[in-house]
Structure 1
Amino acid sequence: MLPPGYIKYHSQHSCVGSIERGFLCFGSPLLLFANRKDVRLVDAANSRNSSVIISGLEDAAAVDFYYAENSVFWTDVSLEMIKRTYVNGSQTSTNVITFGLLSPDGLALDWLGEKLYWTDSETNRIEVSNLNGSCRKILFWEHLDQPRAIALDPLNGYMYWTDWGERPKIERAGMDGSKQNRSVIISERIHWPNGLTLDYEDSKIYWADAKLNFIHSCNFDGSDRQPVVQGSLPHPFALTLFEERLFWTDWHTRAIHSCHKRTGGNREVVHSDIYSPMDIHVYTAKRQPASNNPCGNNNGGCSHLCLMSPQPPFFSCACPTGVRLHENGHTCASSPKEILLLARRSDLRRISLDTPDYTDVILQLSDIRHTIAIDYDTVEDYVYWTDDEVHLIRRAHMDGSGQEVIVSTEVEHPDGVAVDWIGRNLYWTDTGTDRIEVCRLNGTSRKVLISEGLVEPRAICLDPMRGHMYWTDWGANPKIERANMDGTERIALINSSLGWPNGVAIDYQEKKLYWGDAKTDMIEVANLDGTDRKVLVSNNLPHIFGFSLLGDYVYWTDWQRRSIERVHKVTGGERQVIIDQLPDLMGLKAVNMNHVEGSNGCAENNGGCSHLCLNTHPKGPVCACPTGIFFELLDDQKTCVVPDGFLLFSRKEDIRRMSLETNHNDVLIPIQGVKDAHALDFDNSDNRIYWTDASLKQISRAFMNGSSLEHIIEFGIEFPEGMAVDWVAKNLYWTDIGTKRIEVARLDGKSRRVLIWKDLSDPRSIVLDPPNGYMYWTDWGENPKLERATLDGKNRKTSDMLGQDRRVMVDTHLLSPRGITQYKDFIYWTDLEKKSIERAHKLTGHNRTTIHQGHGDYVMDILVFQESRQPGWNPCGVDNGNCSHLCLAHPSPPDQTGTANMTFSCACPTHYTLDADNKTCLRK
């Protein structure tokens, strides 16, 4: 083995070593080759003299070097990367190109202009970058079909490559990617042109064909084709040249061979028993001769890339992929002006529309699982996307920095997302929760806007200038709907001849609405009010999904065609494929990076709103408060505050809340599937509400914002009329008119037990006093009464709250009073027949006021949601009294002083029995 150290060209010999250790010099060349698992140097005259430059590689394929800096570059087709190391024995490497590669089979270094060129036989591209990977640009992307080997002639400004696709060939072009200089120089008697090398002294090309088993040569222009080695090579792969000899690797023989470059004679095996020989070069300064560098003076005056060219002035300025070159021919724009943002299942991509290559660049983001929808905020440079697998909405800057989660709870299947770039809000649809929600762009102030009548909401787009939002719903009755941006004034614009309306977009200038339908296989357009509906495209749309509009064009993704396409928005013509054969295409957003559309009253100081500013038509901006965080809007209609308490009431098919302190406006709590809500209660510790549903014959619970709906009691229940929460022991009590029982269970519905079943005629309302261990209920039987028992169902007695000081508070104009509650100095009650909520002073009955007058459903139960409404403690509040199932508190027998302290009993669900420890329940 050669000692580690620097490799230099010294005198007329190849030398390996260091100044400190001296040089080992050889008259024969050093061969640099990739061996899949490592990159090596070997003495062409004595294969025992070899050195591993870097080892432990995955799948090294192509290799090249920069002699002036003692560095080696290679491609790894498994890691899909290009890397660099130095010939100094350190075996350390740096990444050069880390994304956007699939099969980088060819690599070539421009030692004059200090550029790196490569081919990719999967993406079918030829690209260039600086040696550190910056300013990456695609040079050729059309009419390539599995390009492989690539060789450069920076002395004359040409590049050469082989293509072993359906029409094998060898091409050449200017190193600046000019189409005018591109030409096919070999297209006959060629099949698998694997290797390619240049003879700069004789102006010759040499290539190896692995199918036809030969090495041929020709002039740089393809003329004077000559056989060198004919028909006797098992499987040649790569080749190189030094002075009068050719060297090549062979997959079949697993060796490096050589011969005379003109005659093919003097063949010999240079090095054998190679694990997997791939690319090869002669490592010498002679293969990278010095010459005039037209880019050497101030980078040719180019702002970014200066690339060699075969035509005067023998260089061209170029820009990174997707960035347009200004008319001055030297300066690049700072970034693309128009782009497409694409959501794929496992990544997000950016496609510049400024340049004709339409290259898709993967955004450097982490933990992308299953993206669906995507949008972009030009003001702060944030990409927003939904992920259906991890149930999140995220954002990040275009360069991948600042990645963060915006919405992380109660996200099930977020199919649509839209940025309100004026009001600085984010809207989304969720086909799992069947909601449309909004929050600030940073995820705060979340509010449910629409929760009723949505079946399969998908795409959503906004018109902040006019105060409208539009969305599609592909449920049983598909439709396209519109509402104000606060969810009011909702109407169905299109509700006929639709199947799966997957995408929707707005032309703000022409006031048009566009949509794509994956079932009718059409793209249609109408006015913003739904009138003047027309078909724009009706052919070759197998499964349209993502949808967007920019300038004169409508863009869409197609699942079946695996493509992104566009057509003119007026004529439906000029149809063009932007990206083809890219699987897993989802959402799409076309963006003008330099333009922000319109304004409204929310643009300045958030419209004066403390939380959400939502534009509406024709009213204009309105302030709104988050859902589920107990805010209410003050009379100034600007400020959201946390009230001391508020009313909760059930209204047959929904549950609502209402301010107690300010304007008494009621707000719908967005809970799905309520049919006939009766009794209500809550647990303040986790902000859950509980209710009975007489139609569904079940008891359910959800958080105050309507999320996490659970049906906790679903069987063995006939008409659940009354219900109450024991907030200390975390138990739930209810009365059932049908079964004539009072039952108890844990708050999650488990450990269910019948407490009272005897002498109950028509049990109705029930309330609890956990700190004192009592429950109270009404019975509407033949002898109506109010009863009391301890929380374990014992010590039952007829009661009127100890029978003392009974007074009539209100006795006029009561038609059918139902629910009742108390807050501060007032009592509140519902009246079924009047469909109202009223209040009066709790001691005198005076100051009677109707605070809510319904116009639809009956108002059923009512209660005050307030932290102080659930005070106190009992022994069940600590570790459930160490009971395995139910802990039921009750007063202890009075002591000698007549004081009754609180104690408890453990109890078991039906079909269980209490063990001797009086703590543990065992199945019978």
Structure 2
Amino acid sequence: MHTHTQAEPEFSNYLIVSANNFFHRIPIDSAEGQDTVLPIRLPSQEVVKALDFDPVDHMIYWIDANTKTIKRAPEFGTKPELFMDYFPGISEFDPFDIIVDPYNRILIFSDETNNLIGFTKLEHRNASSILFEGADKRPRYLGLLPEKGRLYWTDSKPKSPKIMSSSLDMTDTGIIYRLFRHPTAYTLDKESHRMFWMDTLTHGIEICNVEEHLRKGQIMNCAEMSMTLWRKQTSGPTKRFVQDFHCGTSVENEMMGTASGITVYKNDLYWIDKDSNVIATRDIYGRGKVTTFRENMVGLSDLKAVTENIKRSHLCYNGGGCSHLCIINIHDEVQCSCPKYLTLAADGRTCKVPTSCGEGQFECTSGIVVCIPLMWRCDQMEECADGSDEVGCQSVEPRSRWRTQGGIKILVWDTSIVGISTGNPGLPHDEGRDPARAIQDCAVDPRGIKRPEVASA
């Protein structure tokens, strides 16, 4: 439990805004209170590149552009802490954007230098995994529909920038929209299922409704959907050029600068206009005009709308019992899944490193011992540390007896060899040997092979 340095405002719908070395808490409804400068103090040389907010623990996460690290602090705390400064398997960690999944309890990030999307557990920051990577990929801005378990991102590959979408485990990945150029800002509204981004070629904020592809369960081409573009009044592309590129697009000229951060609250879009040092706003459905929400804010870098609408009844709340990723499938059921390089274990909930057990071997679900002889499966003795070799076996009455082969006594329990006698006087050579006593006389060597215990001289 963190200690607050000042009384916390009671309003619950607000913007978290980074400007210079401070975080501002700005109520969306001015009747709810005044703007608050949060007590978090950043070093003078620190530059906030991107931020997000965890509504469960009320924690702010941000990227420090100078140190290329991810930091965090309680909303009303005073001391930032280093959350992440490296990623396993890469030489230089270089985060570009971040987004919190409040249900899976993970922080998803894109890496600009290594061109990958990864995630780490909020409670176990050393538990990191790769979701998406490729030599020809350029993942940058991130968007998330947490209730659906769908991830969206911009791909800034030269000559073919686009917006991509997939499930969190990177299945059914596809192109949502082909961009003119790499955007300078991007956000996804989880309520209206609309994407908003600032295009550097058209000098406008573009909109794409992804509801159609969510409803049909397939990737849709947003260029075929009705869109509204708010374009900066410049000598840039003409309305006809934009309308020809986007089927059904309506274009409106507005007095607006270059957006560097975008967020949505209910029916309103908010963005940072760095040219004018203001936060601007407009209705997401194109009603009304662009207005100034806050002005004279120097050093603006990013902003995020905060609402208290986490559904604790959600099937994936707190991970949904999955070790890594919880996804709601098309049947509205929990489906545990795994990131790249991991596979789902037999329990259907745990991710593990894939093994290469040979033919005639059984793969344990977990534990130090990975592969055991297949003949040990369902022999009513647990060779796997987790007992997975005896899970799902039919219960039968065990049968055992001693066999003599070449002068060597072999104790057979069902079809598994569990003891060998090599003439030890402590092991009587009679066929009627009590199997329970025989098992007591057997020991297990470090390799897991059962051998008779030899009496010391």
The bucket for the TM-score relative to the shorter chain is 0.5 to 0.7
How far residue 160 of structure 1 moved from its aligned partner, in angstroms, is 1.1
Instruction: Give the direction of change, closer, same or farther, for the CA distance of 1:209–1:268 in structure 2 (3 Å limit).
Output: same
| Structure 1 equivalent of residue 259 of structure 2 | 236
1:331 matched residue in structure 2: 350
Match of 2:109 in 1: 118
Structure 1 residues 102, 34: closer, same or farther in 2, change over 3 A?
Answer: farther
**Aligned counterparts of 2:184 and 2:334: Cα–Cα separation in 1:** 29
The 1:334/1:224 distance shift into structure 2, 3 A limit, reads closer
**Cα separation, 1, equivalents of 2:297 and 2:18:** 10
- Write the deviation string for residues 552-600 of structure 1: whole angstroms up to 9, x where unpaired: xxxxxxxxxxxxxxxxxxxxxxxxxxxxxxxxxxxxxxxxxxxx9xxxx
Change (3 A) 1:262 1:291: farther
Select the residue among 6, 12, 15 that pairs with 1:31: 15
Q: Higher strand fraction: Structure 1 or Structure 2?
A: 1
Q: State the TM-score, normalizing by the size of structure 2.
A: 0.61
Shift of residue 274, structure 1, vs aligned partner:
3.1
Matches within 5 A, 1:587-606: none
Aligned residues with identical type, % of pairs: 20
Which of residues 187, 198, 202 is equivalent to 1:212?
202
How far 1:329 sits from its partner (Å)? 4.5
Q: Deviations over 1:609-651 (max 9, x none)?
A: xxxxxxxxxxxxxxxxxxxxxxxxxxxxxxxxxxxxxxxxxxx
| CA spacing shift, 1:274–1:310, aligned 2, 3 Å | farther
CA distance in 1, matches of 2:157, 2:275: 22
Q: Find the counterpart in structure 2 of residue 284 from structure 1.
A: 307
2:295 equivalent to 1:272 = yes
Compute the displacement of 1:330 (Å): 3.3
What does residue 57 of structure 2 align with?
A: 69
Structure with the larger helix share: 2
**CA distance in 2: counterparts of 1:143 and 1:311, whole angstroms:** 32
Q: Does 1:152 align with 2:144?
A: yes
Provide the C-alpha distance between the structure 2 equivalents of 1:234 and 1:168, rounded to a whole number of angstroms. Answer: 22
Query: Partner of 2:300: helix, strand, or coil?
Result: coil
Given that 1:109 and 1:115 are in contact with CA atoms closer than 8 Å, whether structure 2 keeps it comes out as: yes
Match of 1:248 among 271, 274, 283: 271
User: What is the CA–CA distance in structure 1 between the aligned matches of 2:17 and 2:136, rounded to whole Å?
Assistant: 26
TM superposition shift of 1:86: 0.6
Please say if residues 36 and 61 of structure 1, whose CA atoms lie closer than 8 Å, have aligned partners that are also in contact: no
Task: Please point out which of 175, 184, 192 is paired with 2:182.
Answer: 192
1:622-637 mapped onto 2 (5 Å cutoff): none
1:218: Cα distance to partner? Answer: 1.6
**CA-CA distance at 1:171 after TM superposition:** 1.1
Rounded to whole Å, the distance in 2 between the matches of 1:296 and 1:187 is 33
Distance 1:314 1:107 in 2: 25
The aligned counterpart of 2:192 is: 202
1:305 to 324, 334, 342: 324
Give the C-alpha shift of residue 186 in structure 1: 0.7
Aligned mates of 1:61, 1:67 — CA distance in 2: 20
Q: How much has 1:238 moved relative to structure 2?
A: 1.6
1:171 to 157, 164, 168: 164
Gaps (5+ residues) in structure 2? 214-221, 234-255, 357-446, 448-457
Structure-2 residue corresponding to 1:43 = 27
Whole-angstrom CA distance in 2 between matches of 1:161 and 1:126: 9
- What SS does structure 2 have at the residue aligned with 1:208? strand
Asked if 1 retains the 8 angstrom alpha-carbon contact of 2:104 and 2:320, the reply is: no
Task: State how far apart, in whole Å, the 1-side matches of 2:226 and 2:49 are.
Answer: 28
Q: Deviations over 1:129-158 (max 9, x none)?
A: 211323211101026643222111111121
1:295 aligns with 2:319: no
Superposed CA offset, 1:863-883 (max 9, x none): xxxxxxxxxxxxxxxxxxxxx
- The amino acid across from 2:161 in the alignment is P
Q: Is 2:153 the partner of 1:134?
A: no
1:750 aligns with none
Distance 1:271-1:201 versus aligned 2 partners, 3 A rule: same
Q: Would the aligned equivalents of 1:163 and 1:169 in 2 still touch at CA under 8 Å?
A: yes
- Describe the superposition over 1:348-379 as per-residue Cα deviations: whole angstroms up to 9, x where unpaired: xxxxxxxxxxxxxxxxxxxxxxxxxxxxxxxx
- In structure 2, the CA distance between the partners of 1:253 and 1:109, relative to structure 1 (3 Å rule), is same
* Aligned counterpart for 1:87 among listed residues 75, 78, 84: 75
Superposition map of 1:451-850 within 5 A: none
Classify 1:258/1:311 alpha carbon distance in 2 versus 1 (closer, same or farther; 3 Å). Answer: same
Indicate if the aligned counterparts of 2:316 and 2:328 stay in contact, CA closer than 8 A: no
The corresponding residue for 2:337 is 317
Q: What does 1:383-394 correspond to in 2, within 5 Å?
A: none
Within 1, Cα distance between the matches of 2:113 and 2:281?
A: 31
Whole-angstrom distance in 1 between the partners of 2:231 and 2:271: 14
Q: Give, as a single letter, the amino acid of the residue that structure 2 aligns with 1:241.
A: V
Structure 1 pair 257–212 and aligned structure 2 pair: CA distance change class (3 A): same
Q: Does the aligned pair in 2 maintain the 1:255–1:273 contact within 8 Å?
A: yes
The one-letter code matched in structure 2 to 1:231 is: K
Name the CA shift for 1:145/1:34 in 2 (closer, same or farther; >3 Å). farther
Could you tell me the TM-score, scaled by structure 1's length?
A: 0.31
Matching of residue 105 in structure 1 with residue 96 in structure 2: yes
What does residue 40 of structure 2 align with? Answer: 54
CA contact (8 A) 2:85 2:93 kept: no
Deviation at 1:335, TM superposition (A): 9.2
Q: 2:147 corresponds to which letter in structure 1?
A: L
SS at match of 2:38: strand
Unaligned runs of 5+ in 1: 7-15, 338-595, 597-924
Cα distance in 1, alignment partners of residues 203 and 289 from structure 2: 18
CA RMSD of aligned residues (A): 3.2
> Partner amino acid for 2:53?
F
Query: Residues of 2 paired with 1:176 and 1:69: CA distance?
Result: 25
Q: State the alpha-carbon separation in 2 of the partners of residues 256 and 272 from structure 1.
A: 6
Instruction: Tell me which residue corresponds to 1:658.
Output: none
- Asked if the contact 2:11–2:27 (Cα under 8 Å) also holds between the matched residues in 1, the reply is no
**CA–CA distance in structure 2, aligned partners of residues 296 and 112 of structure 1:** 4
Query: CA shift at 1:119, angstroms?
Result: 1.1
- Counterpart contact for 1:126–1:139, Cα < 8 Å: yes
Q: Is the 8 A contact 1:45 1:270 kept in 2?
A: no
Matched residue SS, 2:56: helix
Check 1:219–1:80 CA distance in 2 against 1; reply closer, same or farther (3 A cut): same
Displacement of 1:328 in angstroms is 5.4
Q: Name which one, 1 or 2, has greater alpha-carbon Rg.
A: 1
Residues 334 and 161 of structure 1, relative CA distance in 2, 3 Å threshold: closer
CA contact (8 A) 2:16 2:303 kept: yes
CA contact (8 A) 2:107 2:119 kept: yes
Cα gap change, 1:33/1:80 in structure 2, threshold over 3 Å: closer, same or farther? same
